[in-house]
Structure 1
Amino acid sequence: MKTKLFLCGAALCALSLPAVAAPVAAAQAAATADAAAPVSELVAEVDIPYEQFTLANGLRVIVHTDRKAPIVAVSVWYDVGSKEEPKGKTGFAHLFEHLMFNGSENAPGDFFKPLKEVGATDYNGTTSFDRTNYFETVPTPALDRALFLESDRMGHLTGAITQAVLDEQRGVVQNEKRQGDNQPYGLFRYKQVEGLFPATHPYGHTTIGSMADLDAASLADVKQWFHDHYGPNNAVLVLAGDIDLATAKAKVQKYFGDIPRGPQNVLPDAPIPTLPARKDEVMKDRVAATMLTRMWAVPGVNSKDMAALDVAAGVLGGLDSSRLTDQLVRKEKLAVQVSAYNQSLAQLGIFVIQVIVRPGADADVVGKRIDQIIADFLKTGPTEDEVRRVVTKQVSETISGLESVGGFGGKAVALAQGELYSDDPGAYKKDLENLAAQTPANVKAVADKWLSRPTYALTIAPGARDAYQEATPTAKIPAETAAKADADTETVKGNRGPLPAVGKVADLVFPTIEHARLANGIGLVYAHRDAVPITLATISFDAGAAADPATALGTQALTLGMMDEGTKALDATRLAEAQERLGADISTGADADRTYVGIYTPSANLAPSLDLLADVVKNPAFAPAEVERVKGQQLAGIAQEMTSPQGLAARALPPLVFGATSPYAKQQGAGDPAAVAKLTRDDLIAFQQAWLRPDKATIFVVSSEPLATVKAALDQRFGAWTMPGTPGKKDFAAPATQSAPRIVLIDRPDSPQSLIRAGALTGLKGTDDMLAYNAANDTLGGNFLSRINMDLREAKGWSYGASGRFQTLEYAAPYIINAPVQADKTGPAITALRHDLKSFLTDQGITQTEFDRTVTGTIRELAGSFETSSDVLGAMQNIELYDRPDDYYATLAGRFRGLTIGQLDAAARKVLDPDKLVWVVVGDAAKVKPQLDSLGLPVEVVKAPVAPGGQ
């Protein structure tokens, strides 16, 4: 079972089923526990060998060799985050992260261009309270270029920053802030730090900063910020992948060795505050349900108490079997979702409990029960089994994350964080060993020490959003800066020479796909991967949103919610506990064409994990007493969708693009609230028996275990599976019929941004050869450097990010545009988007530079695109869904080399027509409609709907 986070806009929340016969459940649970590999064995599997050295200028370098693919992760971590920002300069660290992507003295222009050209994957940058990092994974022959780029922005940056660059990125950052603020519960982050820390505390303001401080940032300010914090002696460089120590030493010395030291960062004083008394605050927001929180400031990553606090969070609300979930969601039916986590930062941490109150329940009663359950936990402590389950789950997740060499959470991240925060790249190992050594007594003692202190209890309740600090739509340049802006337009030209050449990058070697069949005919598609000892398996059913009953949208979502919440042998809590003991994770889901039940597990626990998967798939309980409760949770999820810009747009656009009668028009989130309210247990069983059956199933597996072992295990559990009745059938005989072009404006008051979503049919379907169309869209809307994004984000500063794509479905492939923009630029943004499309399709087709970047970059990035088991598993499913040959990905490089500019221009012009787009805008109608009335399209204004069960 996977708990869906209500805060993130997911459709469903935690579900449950009643207890079953105790002897049966106890016996199965005991068998699962006995079959689980010891946690010590799992911890032993987590190992990242490394070597390290330090340059004379203080740059610390860590090298990890991993030859599984011809790629190297480059990760640079700077010891500077928002906690270093003084009063009046909040948001500077994050603003500078953006500035460092806009070119340097020897590599002018956007950094994403040379990264795209070399085939980089997982490239980005992030800022937190404690650090700023930049990372990319590149083909081995492109390592020199990546190191040149990273060293140039470390040592040769400020000459490339002009007033225009600063103003541009200031606008982007402010739209990133608006985009976060525009979400349900989007103001929580501000209240959290205000409530826990004094305003003068280093952790007392958010990383995104204030609009006023961002407006006031001058060119001199940001250049001084760089000088003070970004020297090599304040940085850690990690190289992980297809590289060795000797090679690393030579290359790093070549590119970074001449950069002078800078001022040494000194950690600010950051004591762990204790509130003098409990603090209760209430804020209003346009949300579907009340959120109750309990928060404490606690120790950080270098405290011996961190592991115990991690376990406490898991027991209270971090596990699917957690105490708060079991009591408040399943038994007492007072909440629809619970979460708890211990956010460990470098110098302290934040322990958070969040509970979403069931619509109709008394929030005060729920709050008292939260406090009672916490008090009982502090009094009695966790059980040995609870501690083991948390530890096993967290170790299992760590193993999965370390399959990548880089990115947001791979091996390079673990090594860099350990060095930067703890002066020890191997800190990850010690943390896991400390976690595995936790006992109930220690967890109780540490939890009582920190969580018995006064809490900050913040309630976010439905209502008109409280006023909050919001700057004017465009940045204001201080007068003294504006006076000399003309002098700040010249950039310094570097003298390091051209970018290093990129050697020949080998074509992708995609894992061999093997096929087999179980005894009852279920197809098995298998690939072997042994970089980490895990198994991923997905049972894919030919169903999807297109299979949902047209008169009862949401039937599939409720069916899946009930299936993975309990079986005839194990209720929801015992099922969750059984998975946690194994470090396994069973999940369900659906897209437009397929419905999935999947599992992740350490391969050491493959057999007992498949026992659980088979029980979920073959024996869902659909307990009558629980259907109403779970239905109520789904209705709460629908209400949440109707408060979210993304949820509203996603529900509105499909019927407009495909026509109301198309099976693809059923892509409307968690469904129709009126229909869901009427669903019965019989409806769910009927859907399951029609669609989730062996004759509609294909099993996909990526595993460190051999095919013979996997097949035998699956045959034992699924080989004799049969299902009575007639299988369901989807009807795509009638062609989709798109609505006439117009703008549908969904009125969502108090929105600092507007979300623009547009779509049009193209005449294509996913089983067509989409290569040329997607390659053409690489230039138009397909990536960061696309014309749509570079126009709205980089040139105009109106958006944090805009894109266009072909939504590839089995029987259709419409073109979809997504562009969140600041509210006062909604109409101009639509005008700009239409202009971008029309010019691209007429007199400003793909340039040679854009074509070369697409073809060369895509070929080079293939090796890094299938680094993980989940990447491979997804590719295997696409091959089946779109009827591709098994060697489809292995032959992509050759097919890309055969493309021409003319082919791509012709492909785009054949299927795209901006005049056919139908537009959905989610925003504040009072501010937005006057901008839309002059665009020459009919404008239909509708109120954001309110679902039954919402507040």
Structure 2
Amino acid sequence: MRKPLTTALAATFLALGLTHGASAATTDAIDIPFARFTLPNGLTVVVSEDHKAPVIAVSVWYHVGSADEPQGKTGFAHLFEHLMFQGSENHKGEFFRPFELAGATDQNGTTWFDRTNYFETVPTTALDMTLWMESDRMGHLLGAIGQKELDLQRGVVQNEKRQGENQPYGRVDERISANAFPANHPYHHDTIGSMKDLDAASLADVKHWFGSYYGAANVTVALVGDITPELAKAKMLEYFGDIPAGPPVARQQPWTALRTESTRDTMQDHVAQTRIYREWNVPGLGDADAMQLELAAAVLGGGKTSRLYERLVYKDKFADGVTVGVESFALASQFKLQVDVKHGVDPAKVEAAVADEWKKFLKEGPSADELARVKVNTKASFIRSLEKVNGKATILAEGQVYRNDPGAYKTDLAQIEAATPASVRAAADKWIAKGDYTLTVTPAAKDADFSAQDEMEQPGRATLAGRPEAKLPPKQEFKTVASNIDRSKGVPTVATFPDLTFPKLEHGKLKNGIAVVLAERHTIPVVQLQLLFDAGYASDQGRKLGTSAFTMAMLDEGTKELDSLEIARRAERLGAEIGAGSGLDSSSVKLNALSSQLEPSLRLYADIVRNAAFRDADVARIRGQWLARIAQEKTQPTGLALRTLPPLLYGASHAYAIPFTGSGTEASIQSLGADDMRAYVRDYIRPDNATILVAGDTTMDAIVEKLNGVFGDWQAPASAVPKKNIANVATPAQPRVYLMDKPGALQSLILAGVVAPSTKAKNNLEIQTMNGAFGGSFTSRLNMNLREDKHWAYGAGSFLSNAVAQRPFMMYAPVQTDKTSESVAEILREAKEVIGAKPLTRSEIDKIKVGDVRSMPGEYQTTGAVLGAMNGIKLYDRPDDYVQTLKPRIEAQSDAAVQAAAKEVIRPDALTWIVVGDLKKIEQPIRALKIGEVKVIDADGKVAR
């Protein structure tokens, strides 16, 4: 009999809590119990029981990806993934719709080099519906796919490609793949493919791909959650047993294609700063050196205590950021370095410093302390990923698909545990001592146009001899099993749904009066805390913009006794995660600690909260990174819009009239000093302005005792907490249109906003339901129009940012440039119709209501999700039983009340529009719409003309 999962995890966490110098813990304690079986048709099923919540993760992995695409068919695996959501022979219509009605969470599909996967987490009672849907598209797809569906999804995918390439550094991955791997390597081209090949995809290609790769014998299905192996076997046989195995699939074979010489490349892009990429080809998943290289990457560039970060950011001050990591695949992996070069620094100096540290590492390897810290954090991160059932399903399915072993993660963890400085150094010397490809990306001229670059792709690395032949699997005899499912009856109905179990909130108080709110949750031995302050970006008013976010970011950069690096090292040794930040209305400091190490973690946490040092050197370092961040925001269409829209919506005197990124302006950050931050801490980061929220593996008596030990003597200053101006603002008398120029942009970002009632509004649920139906869900009106009908966008919708005062309601759509004005017109038409001729229908409203109710068991699987709900309860003055009573309140919403919410929020005649795109292509068509006065503004929101 396998021991319960919670027991296994508890043992693991106790092991991970060992202090540096203690003997290594065994990885046997980390266990995801599973059963595996194969259906007669060859389909592999992996099942793991986890009964902590009444939900089941269903993860369907097809062993086919872009590596299997023949020449001239790049991007086809991903295009086919999109087609799988278009409906099937027995379910006409969007695949997502039944799942929205059932309350599915974590639902999507993805394509990568070696696999295509589809996944969702559903209430236990929706298992039959889910398996029916997945099996219907696996066994009954082609009759539902015609030229119309192909053309539609081709357009969506092409806009996904444009959207990615319209971002800073958006063409880099394609360039690296082409130069990392030889032209005849399966990984030479990126997964999304070329526009030319996407245009050429035909219905014949669709049918051939489906017939070649989507047979049952090429599939693994992982079922994790509130299910037993016995039930899983019966259900899988019932729904999937009659699907043919399909032809045998020849497997691509591992091929590292190691380079023996270094190569260099440069490219320009619309970016704010120079970035250096360096890549080495290394072995794929399951290789004996794979985990050694993961550890090497973490030591070299896995965080602020890593070799390169400390050298380039702290010591030499050459860079704003450094990362090193391994992207792991089946046939080969990529060991990657990325450096953001500080403005004004010669990249050659950066490369020389990197080379120096690389040389030292290859000679000496990691220190014992470095390796110990990396091991603890690697294992702790792995365990934290297991709290959600879909996280475990992914691990099991990946192990089965790539390595024929759902428990392959145990081999990896054992290799991590057994690693020594010598073994890590040896692997590094073998694989990353030579043969790198270096790409330097530099800022292009503002008017540079890269819109035709797809047709001018560089060939990259030449063909290389020695590619291993793909191998067919051993011959097997498969058979189908007759099914008693009558698919003509359609999708099975989901008649009952499990109730949500949410912990009761308990209240306590520290000696100095700080309120403590606790939600006990003992599923894993972790405690999460949030010290919540009434502050946030809104508290910047009257101060230098960005003060709140910058000050909070500085808290863990040094205390009176510890410097920034020592804080990070201590957190790593404890397996603790500590972070501080701000939102619109609040600031907070969070702790995620192992139960066994809670007391020392709290001591470190309290030191960060109470004793921030704000040393000049640290301020200068973070200031440089912050200014680089602002510059990056100004190269991102979404960043530009979110920086400039709020001041236009709220007006200069309002606390929300700030960039919603919270980063402030260059001028404000340049002038921000330690005295400003100390004043901010005095005014806002204080015990009489704080609440401590706790969720996890503790009790009220225990946590109050521990918190009193570190916060009980914390006293407030004599001055009062400042007041924020969050008074109501008037809406514009008429629409306004602002255009921002992004020369050569492949897409235009459309953002239209208006102020809406506060999150505290009595009809907040009706407002949320309205938004879900209009633009906040996949099958909403806006997305179905611009994506699924017109295919002018990869996605479009609307959203509400939570706020204590009036919040912004925004409609957005990144659309292809030549459809910008048409998209603006469609968004405006939809906005007018939903409050006029075409109000939301009962079915549209009910879809959101039932989905919101039925998704709650999946939404609140994790301790972090519970803590998030507690945060909302505190911020928006909600009752303690807010979550437990949501179901009847959601169900009680009337159609009339939701329709009234639409009229209250969506005001087409008061919209403020921002469109970021290629001005020479979009200005005149938008002006011709005559929807309001049109002005051209710069990246700071200042009127240019």
Q: Which residue of 1 aligns with 2:480?
A: none
| Distance verdict in 2 for CA 1:418–1:38, change over 3 Å | farther
When normalised by structure 2's length, the TM-score is: 0.92
Q: Which residue of 2 aligns with 1:294?
A: 278
Q: Give the superposition deviation at 1:857.
A: 2.0
Q: Distance in 2 between matches of 1:42 and 1:891?
A: 44
Q: Which residue of 1 aligns with 2:538?
A: 546
- Say whether the 8 Å CA contact 2:726–2:805 is kept in structure 1: no
| Distance verdict in 2 for CA 1:875–1:623, change over 3 Å | same
Q: Give the superposition deviation at 1:255.
A: 0.2
| Distance verdict in 2 for CA 1:802–1:733, change over 3 Å | closer
* 1:352-397 superposed Cα distances (whole Å, 9 cap, x missing partner): 0101011111111111111111111101110011111111111111
- Say whether the 8 Å CA contact 1:83–1:202 is kept in structure 2: yes
When normalised by structure 1's length, the TM-score is: 0.91
Q: Give the superposition deviation at 1:269.
A: 3.8
| Distance verdict in 2 for CA 1:33–1:143, change over 3 Å | closer
- Structure 1 residue identity aligned to 2:359: A
Q: Which residue of 2 aligns with 1:215?
A: 199
Q: Distance in 2 between matches of 1:207 and 1:563?
A: 41
Which of the residues 573, 576, 599 maps onto 2:591?
A: 599
- Say whether the 8 Å CA contact 1:67–1:242 is kept in structure 2: yes
| Distance verdict in 2 for CA 1:668–1:244, change over 3 Å | closer
Larger mean Cα displacement after TM superposition, 761-770 or 883-892: 761-770
Q: Give the superposition deviation at 1:338.
A: 0.6
| Distance verdict in 2 for CA 1:471–1:298, change over 3 Å | closer
| Distance verdict in 2 for CA 1:352–1:249, change over 3 Å | same
- Say whether the 8 Å CA contact 2:821–2:926 is kept in structure 1: yes
Which of the residues 195, 209, 231 maps onto 1:225?
A: 209
| Alignment map for 1:723-734 (pairs within 5 Å) | 723-732=716-725, 734=727
Verify: 1:857 aligned to 2:841, yes or no.
Answer: no
Q: Distance in 1 between matches of 2:623 and 2:928?
A: 44
Identity %, equivalent residues: 46
- Say whether the 8 Å CA contact 2:17–2:575 is kept in structure 1: no
* 1:281-328 superposed Cα distances (whole Å, 9 cap, x missing partner): 111111111111211010111101111100000000012200101010
Q: Give the superposition deviation at 1:725.
A: 4.5
Q: Which residue of 1 aligns with 2:423?
A: 442
Which of the residues 380, 389, 398 maps onto 1:405?
A: 389
- Say whether the 8 Å CA contact 1:202–1:270 is kept in structure 2: no
Q: Give the superposition deviation at 1:826.
A: 1.0
Verify: 1:426 aligned to 2:407, yes or no.
Answer: yes
Verify: 1:897 aligned to 2:897, yes or no.
Answer: no
- Say whether the 8 Å CA contact 1:324–1:373 is kept in structure 2: yes
Q: Which residue of 2 aligns with 1:97?
A: 81
| Distance verdict in 2 for CA 1:452–1:547, change over 3 Å | same
| Alignment map for 1:303-702 (pairs within 5 Å) | 303-406=287-390, 410-464=391-445, 467=450, 469=452, 495-669=487-661, 670-702=663-695
Larger mean Cα displacement after TM superposition, 731-740 or 926-935: 731-740
- Say whether the 8 Å CA contact 1:171–1:798 is kept in structure 2: yes
CA RMSD of aligned residues (A): 1.9
| Distance verdict in 2 for CA 1:471–1:192, change over 3 Å | closer
| Alignment map for 1:1-40 (pairs within 5 Å) | 35=19
Q: Distance in 1 between matches of 2:862 and 2:29?
A: 17
Which of the residues 890, 903, 906 maps onto 2:900?
A: 906
- Say whether the 8 Å CA contact 1:539–1:700 is kept in structure 2: yes
Structure 1 unaligned residues grouped into runs of 5+: 1-31, 473-492
Q: Distance in 1 between matches of 2:307 and 2:381?
A: 21
Q: Distance in 1 between matches of 2:818 and 2:153?
A: 18
Q: Distance in 2 between matches of 1:909 and 1:189?
A: 45
* 1:589-615 superposed Cα distances (whole Å, 9 cap, x missing partner): 111000111111222221111111111
Q: Distance in 1 between matches of 2:77 and 2:185?
A: 16
- Structure 2 residue identity aligned to 1:701: V
* 1:795-828 superposed Cα distances (whole Å, 9 cap, x missing partner): 0001111111222201113311121111111111
Q: Give the superposition deviation at 1:732.
A: 2.7
Q: Which residue of 1 aligns with 2:478?
A: none
- Greater relative contact order structure (CA < 8 Å, 6+ sep): 1
Larger mean Cα displacement after TM superposition, 45-54 or 870-879: 45-54
Q: Give the superposition deviation at 1:270.
A: 4.4
Structure 2 unaligned residues grouped into runs of 5+: 1-15, 456-484
Q: Which residue of 1 aligns with 2:825?
A: 831
Q: Distance in 2 between matches of 1:39 and 1:226?
A: 52
Q: Distance in 1 between matches of 2:887 and 2:29?
A: 35
Verify: 1:869 aligned to 2:863, yes or no.
Answer: yes
Q: Distance in 1 between matches of 2:861 and 2:588?
A: 22
User: Counterpart of 2:656 in 1: which secondary structure?
Assistant: helix
Q: Which residue of 2 aligns with 1:163?
A: 147
Q: Give the superposition deviation at 1:767.
A: 4.6
- Structure 1 residue identity aligned to 2:189: H
Q: Distance in 1 between matches of 2:901 and 2:268?
A: 50
Which of the residues 714, 719, 724 maps onto 1:721?
A: 714
- Structure 2 residue identity aligned to 1:282: T
Q: Distance in 1 between matches of 2:911 and 2:552?
A: 34
| Alignment map for 1:918-933 (pairs within 5 Å) | 918-933=912-927
- Say whether the 8 Å CA contact 1:118–1:142 is kept in structure 2: yes
- Structure 2 residue identity aligned to 1:578: R
Q: Distance in 2 between matches of 1:440 and 1:276?
A: 25
- Say whether the 8 Å CA contact 1:540–1:700 is kept in structure 2: yes
- Structure 2 residue identity aligned to 1:95: L
User: Counterpart of 1:392 in 2: which secondary structure?
Assistant: helix
Which of the residues 863, 872, 877 maps onto 1:878?
A: 872
Q: Which residue of 1 aligns with 2:748?
A: 754
- Say whether the 8 Å CA contact 1:35–1:608 is kept in structure 2: no
* 1:429-470 superposed Cα distances (whole Å, 9 cap, x missing partner): 221121121110000000000001221111011113574755
Larger mean Cα displacement after TM superposition, 910-919 or 614-623: 910-919
- Say whether the 8 Å CA contact 1:37–1:605 is kept in structure 2: no
- Structure 2 residue identity aligned to 1:289: Q
Q: Which residue of 2 aligns with 1:70?
A: 54
Q: Give the superposition deviation at 1:889.
A: 1.2
User: Counterpart of 1:663 in 2: which secondary structure?
Assistant: coil
Q: Give the superposition deviation at 1:471.
A: 6.5
- Say whether the 8 Å CA contact 2:125–2:494 is kept in structure 1: yes
Q: Distance in 2 between matches of 1:505 and 1:283?
A: 54
Q: Distance in 2 between matches of 1:643 and 1:72?
A: 41
Aligned pairs, number:
893
